[in-house]
Amino acid sequence: MILQSDNVESWREYLPVESEIGHMIVTKKYKYIVYDMGSKQEQMFDLEADPHETRNALTEMDQKILDEHRAIFKKAFPEWV
């Protein structure tokens, strides 16, 4: 049975995802990824501006937004800190 509702408000602030190559959190607008390869390389995508995730926006990202997503990541994956 699929639950349906007219209330489209999000019931969580992020989605944590684990894979063989790293971990990520997905928020309403962004995807922040930390790879488990070498020096834990980071990527961040603006899912509204770049829905196909073709450009790593990490270096262009507003520092406040980046810090917020790093904090969410640490909350979701404390063992990775």
pLDDT score, position 8: 54
Q: What is the pLDDT of residue 37?
A: 77
User: How many Å apart are CA 58 and CA 10, to the nearest integer?
Assistant: 25
Q: Tokens 């969580």 correspond to what residue? A: 12
The residue segments making up the domain with residue 67 are 15-80
Here the tokens at position 33 are: 């990824």
- Work out the number of other CB atoms within 10 angstroms of the CB of residue 49: 10
pLDDT (tens digit per residue) in 21-80: 899 999 999 999 999 877 779 999 999 999 999 999 999 999 999 999 999 999 999 987
What is the number of domains present in the chain? Answer: 1
User: Alpha carbon of 45 to those of 7, 25, 54, 61, 81: distances in Å?
Assistant: 27, 11, 8, 9, 21
Examine residue 2 and state whether it is found in any structural domain, yes or no: no
CATH of the domain at 66: 3.30.1120.10
